[in-house]
Structure 1
Amino acid sequence: MEDISAVVGPSSIVSVKMKDSGKSLDEVVVIAYGQAKKSSYTGSAVSIKGEDFQNRAVTNVLSAIEGATSGVQIQSAAGQPGSAPAIRIRGFSSVNGSNTPLYVVDGVPFAGDISNLSSNDIESLSVLKDASSTSLYGSKAANGVVIITTKTGKSSKDKFSLNVSQGMTSRLIKEYERVDAFDYYPLEWEAIRNSRPMANQTQIDAANLFASGRVPVVLVTNPFNVPNAQIVGTDGKMNPAAKLLYPQDLDWAAPLERAGVRQNVDFSYQGKSEKSNYFASIGYLNEDGYIQKSDYQRIAARLNLNTSLKEWFKTGINLSGTTTDSNLAVDGVDNTSSFNNPFRSIRYMGPIYPVFDHTANGDYVYDVTGNKVYSTVRGSGASNGRNIVYETLNNTDNQKGLALSARTYAEIKFLKDFKFTFNASLDKSYYNRTYTYNTQIGDGAPTGLISKEDRILTGVTYNQLLNYDKKIGNHTISFLAGHESFDYERNWLTGTKTGQVSPDNPEFINYATTTDLTSYTRNYGTESYFSRVGYDYKDKYIVSASLRRDGSSKFAKDNRWGNFWSVGGAWVLSKESFLENSSWINDLKLRASMGEVGNDSHTSNDGLSFYVSQPTFSLGYDNGSEGGVVTNAAGASELQWEKNTQKDIAVEFGLFRNRLRGSVEYYNRNTDGLIFSVPNPLSSGLDNRVENIGSMVNKGFEVSLDGTVIRTNDFSWGLSINASTIQNEITSLPQKEIINGTKKLMAGHSIYDYWLRDWYGVDATDGYALYVSDPTLIVAGDATQRVVNGVNVTTDQNKALYHYAESAIPDLFGSFGTNVKYKGLKLDVLFAYQIGGKMYDTNYSALMHTGNNYGSALSVDALKRWQKPGDITDVPRMDINRNTQSTAASDRWLIGSDYLSLRQVNLSYSMPSDLISKLGVDNATLYVNGENLMLFTKRQGLDPSQTFNGTTQNRFTPSRIISLGLNLNF
């Protein structure tokens, strides 16, 4: 607001109307090893305030990043409570290495699990995107950096905060549409009938009769009130008298899905004195997933203490501890193709199969103890011999965790402009995961099985920083020199036993036979030296440069060290005389940067040789094994860092008295030395070695706009939008092409371009699936070759033409939102969107089998299948002999990955201070919050945000969470 002077008259009453100055407070962003004013920063960084998500149901704090900044793609967290979203900043820098950003907590790289952090402890999140902002982290920063800063004491008096919320979780994404029992039987009848010879009426009649008798045999179960031979007539139609005997028992989702409960309580205490500040908190979270046996409990405590013992000496400590206890829906998170995956089983279970056994008249079957008997007898394609309801309820997958994190520092100021800081951190995590499989049904039957996994993860970081900051007239000079040492150790132990002795004892001693027992320890370390220099003239002309030298234990000693650097500059045009008095341009800054960062995140120490001990031969009367040592991996001594060269240019602006603020950026990221496996000669005895022999580029634009449409004393309305593009291209490879599933890596294409058969359609004469023919495989007289509309096509998928069929990478993605505030009432709404790109829908393709997968569910689109000559459709005939030809991998299964998601809505009311002050309360806010409320896609059941590579999975889809809360400060 503008300063206003007013003369006080005899009445001593002054009426003043504040006037908007159009000036904005200079935002401070947390950057590598320090802070910077946003207006004079040369890098690309976005800060997200903790207060923006403190009243949201954010179990993992990384979920708060979605929609908050451009250039960041989010793979939504799974519905398993506590799971983390996957994040990609400005594309993909590696093919075989990690594309995950570096996470930094309170100034030090974090070696723990982000889900252990309570969102109510977070002061801010900073997302660093370009080389100027990330290169000081060197080898760890190729994929961007997310800096998390926890809270410190700010209030001059002791202040307590209590945030309590209660909510419900439910399924967001509906299941794929599938046919019901009355359509399923005729479709299977047709598939059997079409597989028979039908050259004349006699054969047709025989085929019809055969199908009517055969279909109840292969489907095994008859859920109708009519005999097997009368379910489907010889005309292929359902018996009109047929009625379901137990329709209530055919829904496999009902006993597994639920409305989960989410409870969250956060209590904190903070304050500060002349020399110290302190923040302490404890939080409890209990969240149920919408699937049985999925939940997450977390107790998190924190103490942050800072004190100035002398005017020149400051020190502090940040301590946090978290305990977690989670039950995971068995194989619904880690193994999406497993028979134990409830989402897979629910999706593909035929609509005719009951959860429990029934008598011929439809009554439940009970065992000797009076319990219903679970059904396990079904068609071969319907998990015959299994029962996912019984297995989910009686198997366990439990993980308990204890995470401890400690950070301490000492800061010494000397010679007026110098500051030396020593930081030390320890992140230690303990995890114990226990799987038990029951003795009755499934993988553990008939003896039972237990598997345990223990992990201890330890990360230790030390760094020393020397800062020099000097202002001389209009000149500001800054200098940083530092050293950092990081050590990481992973201890892993796992064992499996079978032969359960007694129930309800999940310990190894309760099982008789050891089938697997193994352990390992992995160590990784880096040593780093770095420096940054900055110069600022009148907050108008700013330049910066940084250099870091990293050594990594993952490489052989001759290639262990790498140099990473950046240069950046900014010109604040709005402070030039020709714009300083502009009536509509308030802020205008042009910035550019260039630099190189590295990536050593491939999962193993490929630069080193490894040996493994194992039994080599047997000796003695008892055939005792003698131990030996063999080469496990021959180190690639020439292996080096994947290097990522980044360029960035941007304009930032504030217009119309800063009622419209935003930025437009262009980036270019070029990765050299991509790591690929290369075959070894057979004589070496080893399969592969790794080499730096590829390159790739990512480039695109980012636009962010924030506008205030209306702003008065009592009312404000704001709008925001951001949009981003990514263009990815491989520029060189170790060989001409690398085919991996539905993708083919090749220079000139992206890592997520589809390489698939060219689907042509369905032949209207016989309903056969058609593919464009590979010209090199066309042979005269081949009965599988046809010409349709002048195009050479084939009914044999092995003779089809493969081609590049679009990409999984979207053309445009981003978010938009609005916020409305009237006095104490506030509404925030956030949408996320994606335009362009394709998904390869393997889930849908499995639902479009042609009938040979007896008992497996069918999509409603199967009702559009070809039935007789002349039918024009894109769905082939039902035919148990043609499934492989009709469902082969092709661009038929591609579908647009466009989506619009209502990600978050928050409605809050801050109670009037004159009302709550009488109760000793400073602030009281009542709020209703919704997360993942709606999703609009090209197909029901499709989740386009589940993966970056575009291939669908039977995964635990995200939960919808609606909660009511109260936030008190007193």
Structure 2
Amino acid sequence: METGAYLDANGKATTDPGEYIYDYEGTRLSNNGRDAIAETEFNQRELVRVNQTGHTYLTLTPVEGLNLTANYSINNIDYRRKVYENPYVGDGTAGPGRLNQMSTRTLTQTFNQLITYSKSIGNHNFDVLLGHENYSYKYEYLYGMKTQETVSGMYEFGNFVNISSLSSYTNTYKKEGYFGRINYDYAHKYYASLSYRHDGSSRFAKENRWGNFWSFGVGWRISEEAFMKDVKWVNNLKLRASYGETGNDNILDSDGDPDYYPYQTLYGLGYKNGSEAGAYFTVIANPSLKWETQISTDIALEFGLFDRLTGTIEYFKKDSKDLLFDVSQPASVGVTSIIQNIGKVTNSGVEIELDYNAFKNKDWSVSVGANATFVKNKIKNLPATMKENGYISGSKKWLEGKSIYEFWLRQWHGVDPQTGDGLYVADVSKYNQGNIGTGDGNITQSQFDEYKKTVVTIDGKELTNSYTYAKYDFSGSSIPDVYGGFNVRVSYKNFDLAAVFSYQLGGQILDTNYATMMSMTEFGYAQSPDLLKAWKQAGDITEVPRIDNSAAHTTNIGQSYSTRWLTSSDYLNLRSVTIGYQLPKTWLSKVMLKSARLNLTAENLFMLKARQGLNPMANYSGVTYNEYMPSRNITLGLNVSF
């Protein structure tokens, strides 16, 4: 008897259960054997996060002006993750079927004791603080994975046969400090402040564990002087200055994660040398590591004029010395990097903040505010081993006299109109006949011959279509010339409107996200429509090289670290707009309310920037790393008080 898709062996019609049929066994150019919908249905993922926070304090006042205070706070975060990956489609097919579980606990505790005393004797006002603080951090991690599922539907380790991975570790960190501060003013006209800290960190060896840091500041309220009494248009005029040191023990490894034991040698265990058990270095000790010190100088003028204009103009300078940095090492050392204290860097600039009450009467008020920051960064000193050639860190190069934020990139020229090749400025200082030899920095004849095969000359400039022979050079800075914000506030009777903007001008950003979307080797991923502008025939003028999937071509034009991917980080962002309405008290009295305010807030309504999809606010390094644009949020709220 003939049967078919809808007939059983007896020729009777069968019912269609109506379940989805997933196609994950076909042949695709990309992600073969994957199906996002099927994996979402067949896999299981469970995440549990429990955050427990507590705080308590005790204050005693044995005599007037004297307070004894103890504060204790604790924060415990338990996080558990269980992930099951099915044996049919996706990553779990290699098991077949697998289960992994991760558990972490983060416990932080802070305990401080404070003694404060304030006293006024005539025009002399004193405020004294003495204190001690202890901070502890503990992080526990446990992870396991088993494969080869026995029966379906049971998501526990006992249902899986083979142990694929099992690991755990604990990190601890402690910091302790003793500190004191004295504030003094005379008649609220002359001010002085002095502070001192003695801090210890478990990240340093015992010989360098403690650091001493101090600061002082002075102030002069000029507007309180007798000679200013007749200057009616000056409401406030104050000059202040400060100088001080702070310590930094925030040590990061090459991955940007905290490094808790850089002064100790650590080993990775369980590795084999042939058939013999073995270990290898993961960290090489640096017992001479010490606190990074930041020395800050600030001078500011605060003012209020004409009962309308207020503002601050401030000069700042921060010298950071003994920088804590993860320095790359040659392979012969046995580790890729070692944490060291290196060099000295200076940040300096000017910050201006203004606020102006433009108009105010019985019904209306209008005011505006703005701020701007101008900052420069300069490397003042590097270790002797880095003075001549500097130190390359990713897309940056550290060199005395330069900035740690200056890009060091291969120089992109453009697209050859005749061939569609991507062209770079050739490194003629290295690849020339005068450098052929056997000494350090020289090249061989064969290297020079290979270089010449890639060279074209356009408008008298020697260019190369090979990324290998491109010239490196400093290529602008990720620090903007100026950044800041401004706001507008308007009210009419019971209505009010406030808009807040932020901006940035003058910096550069290395858009590696855009570089990935311009790749010619990826399938099944989002790509930029700018690829449609690619070179097609001789004579085409474009900034996008020809589409050619040959290995040599894609390697030469697909690299992220070239000036091709530099773009302006200028932006103007409307951060928020709030419209509010204060309900009349005559209405509220009828429902026994003191006040009620209705408000509507919209955040990130628009951003003007150099490239669609670019988030120039993402980070200060000037390199994009899969950041999303700020989310647009709209919130409606009602605030009431009884």
TM range (shorter): 0.7 to 0.9
- The whole-number CA distance in structure 1 between the counterparts of 2:536 and 2:282 is 57
Runs (5+) with no aligned partner, structure 2: 1-15, 252-257, 433-447
Match of 2:361 among 688, 702, 712: 712
What does 1:868-907 correspond to in 2, within 5 Å?
Answer: 868-881=537-550, 882-888=553-559, 889-907=561-579
Match status 1:648 vs 2:302: no
Whether 1:832 and 2:505 are equivalent positions in the alignment is no
Distance 1:941 1:611, change over 3 A: closer
- C-alpha contact 2:22 2:38 (8 A) present in aligned 1: no
Q: Note if 1:441 corresponds to 2:110.
A: no
C-alpha separation between the residues in 1 aligned to 2:40 and 2:404?
Answer: 37
Amino acid at match of 2:60: I
One-letter amino acid of the structure 1 residue matched with residue 402 of structure 2: H
Distance 2:461 2:326 in 1: 40
Distance 1:891 1:530, change over 3 A: same
Instruction: Provide the C-alpha distance between the structure 2 equivalents of 1:636 and 1:538, rounded to a whole number of angstroms.
Output: 52
User: Which residue matches 1:951?
Assistant: 623
Which moved further from structure 2: 592-601 or 575-584?
Answer: 575-584
Q: How far, CA to CA, are the matches of 1:377 and 1:949 in structure 2?
A: 43
Which one-letter code corresponds to 1:870 in the other structure? Answer: G
More moved, 695-704 vs 743-752:
743-752
Work out the CA distance in 2 between the residues paired with 1:876 and 1:682.
37
For residues 391-448 of structure 1, the C-alpha deviation after alignment (integer angstroms, 9 at most, x for no partner) is: 4666566543222222222222234332222222222222223344444433233533
**How much has 1:875 moved relative to structure 2?**
2.1
**Distance of aligned partners of 1:580 and 1:885 in 2 relative to their CA distance in 1, 3 Å threshold:** same
Residue of structure 2 in register with 1:534 after alignment: 183
Inter-partner Cα distance in structure 2 for 1:947 and 1:506: 40
Instruction: State the match for 2:144 in structure 1.
Output: 495
- Mapped to 1, the partners of 2:602 and 2:243 lie a distance apart of 41
Q: 1:730–1:439: structure 2 CA closer, same or farther, 3 Å change rule?
A: farther
Instruction: Summarize the alignment of residues 918-937 of structure 1 with structure 2, pairs less than 5 Å apart.
Output: 918-937=590-609
Per-residue Cα deviation, 1:777-800 (whole angstroms, up to 9, x for no partner) = 144792211211111111111111
Instruction: Answer yes or no: is the 8 Å Cα contact 2:268–2:282 preserved in 1.
Output: no
Distance 1:969 1:443, change over 3 A: same
Instruction: State the distance in 1 between where 2:45 and 2:313 align.
Output: 47
Deviation at 1:772? 0.8
Task: Tell me by how many angstroms 1:539 deviates.
Answer: 0.8
Offset of residue 773 of structure 1: 0.7
Once the two structures are TM-superposed, the CA of residue 589 in structure 1 deviates from its matched residue by 0.9
Deviations 1:564-616 (A, max 9, x none): 11111111111112223322210111111111101111122345325558447
Give the Cα separation in 2 of the matches to 1:800 and 1:453. Answer: 46
Q: 1:597–1:643: 8 Å Cα contact kept in structure 2?
A: yes
Q: Which residue number in structure 2 is paired with residue 969 of structure 1?
A: 641
Asked if residue 400 in structure 1 is aligned to residue 48 in structure 2, the reply is yes
**Does the Cα contact within 8 Å between 1:378 and 1:855 map onto a contact in 2?**
no
Matches within 5 A, 1:564-713: 564-602=213-251, 603-611=258-266, 614-615=269-270, 633-657=283-307, 659-677=308-326, 688-713=337-362
The CA distance in 2 between the partners of 1:897 and 1:678, in whole Å, is 28
In structure 2, the CA distance between the partners of 1:856 and 1:683, relative to structure 1 (3 Å rule), is: closer
Which residue of structure 2 aligns with residue 777 of structure 1? 431
Q: In the aligned structure 2, how far is the partner of 1:405 from the partner of 1:774?
A: 59
Distance in 2 separating the partners of 1:731 and 1:569 = 28
- Report if aligned partners of 2:267, 2:283 keep a CA contact under 8 Å in 1: no
Q: How many residue pairs end up in the alignment? A: 595
Contact 2:263/2:288 (8 A) holds in 1: no
Q: What's the counterpart of residue 723 of structure 1? A: 372
Structure 2 SS opposite 1:548? strand
Partner of 2:167: 518
Per-residue deviation, 1:806: 0.9
1:691 Cα deviation from its structure 2 partner: 2.2
- In the TM superposition, what is the alpha-carbon distance from 1:644 to its structure 2 partner? 0.6
Mapped to 1, the partners of 2:380 and 2:43 lie a distance apart of 48
| Alignment counterpart, residue 940 of structure 1, candidates 612, 626, 637 | 612
Distance 1:388 1:695, change over 3 A: farther
Is 1:819 the counterpart of 2:489? The answer is: yes
CA positional deviation for 1:907: 1.3
2:461 is matched with which residue?
791
Preserved CA contact (<8 Å) 1:566 1:595: yes
CA distance in 2 between partners of 1:611 and 1:756 (Å) = 35
Aligned position for 1:420: 68
Point out the more displaced range, 719-728 or 427-436: 427-436
Larger deviation: 708-717 or 505-514? Answer: 505-514
Aligned pairs for 1:358-397 within 5 A: 370-374=19-23, 380=29, 382-388=30-36, 390-391=38-39
In structure 2, C-alpha distance between the alignment counterparts of 1:674 and 1:613, rounded to whole Å: 27
- Select which of 411, 415, 438 maps to 1:758: 411
Q: 1:915 aligns with which of 553, 573, 587?
A: 587
- Equivalent residues in 2 for 1:20-419, closer than 5 Å: 370-374=19-23, 380=29, 382-388=30-36, 390-391=38-39, 399-419=47-67
Aligned counterparts of 1:594 and 1:509: Cα–Cα separation in 2? 63
Alpha carbons of 1:616 and 1:800: their partners in 2 closer, same or farther (altered >3 Å)?
closer
- For normalisation by structure 1, the TM-score amounts to 0.58
CA distance in 1, matches of 2:160, 2:592: 59
Change (3 A) 1:885 1:687: closer
RMSD over equivalenced CA pairs, Å: 2.8
Q: Partners in 1 of 2:103 and 2:415 — Cα distance? A: 53
Q: Which string of whole-angstrom CA distances, capped at 9 and with x for unpartnered residues, describes residues 26-55 of structure 1?
A: xxxxxxxxxxxxxxxxxxxxxxxxxxxxxx
Corresponding residue for 1:361? none
Shift of 1:687: 5.5
SS of the counterpart of 1:883?
helix
Q: Deviations over 1:38-89 (max 9, x none)?
A: xxxxxxxxxxxxxxxxxxxxxxxxxxxxxxxxxxxxxxxxxxxxxxxxxxxx
Question: What is the rounded CA distance, in whole Å, between the counterparts of 1:368 and 1:543 in structure 2?
Answer: 82
8 A Cα contact 1:379 1:854, kept in partner: no
The amino acid of 1:915's aligned partner reads W
Match of 1:106 in 2: none
SS class of match (2:452): coil
Closer/same/farther in 2, CA of residues 536 and 557 from structure 1, 3 Å limit? same
Moved more, 805-814 or 773-782: 773-782
Q: Work out the CA distance in 2 between the residues paired with 1:891 and 1:629.
A: 42
Tell me, in whole angstroms, the C-alpha distance in 1 between the residues paired with 2:172 and 2:44: 31
What percent of counterpart residues are identical?
A: 38
**Amino acid of the residue matched to residue 431 of structure 1?**
Y
In 1: Cα distance, 2:234 partner to 2:268 partner: 70
How far did 1:954 drift? 2.9
**Matches of 1:613 and 1:754 in 2, distance apart?**
35
**Which residues in structure 2 correspond to 1:426-505 (within 5 Å)?**
426-445=74-93, 447-501=96-150
Shift of 1:844: 1.9
SS in 1 for 2:90: coil
Say which structure is richer in strand. 2
Q: Which of 1 and 2 has higher RCO (CA within 8 Å, sep 6+)?
A: 1
Indicate if the aligned counterparts of 1:606 and 1:636 stay in contact, CA closer than 8 A.
Answer: no
Deviations 1:139-195 (A, max 9, x none): xxxxxxxxxxxxxxxxxxxxxxxxxxxxxxxxxxxxxxxxxxxxxxxxxxxxxxxxx
| Distance (Å, rounded) in 2 between the aligned partners of 1:461 and 1:685 | 38
Q: Distance in 1 between matches of 2:25 and 2:395?
A: 34
CA, structure 1 residues 864+445, in 2 after alignment: closer, same or farther (shift >3 Å)? same
Alignment partners' CA distance in 1, 2:408 and 2:137? 39
What residue in structure 1 maps to residue 8 of structure 2? none
Gaps spanning 5+ residues in structure 1: where? Answer: 1-366
Q: How far apart in 2 are the matches of 1:501 and 1:814?
A: 60
Equivalence for 2:211:
562
Q: In the alignment, what sits opposite 1:740? A: 393
SS where residue 515 of structure 2 aligns?
A: helix
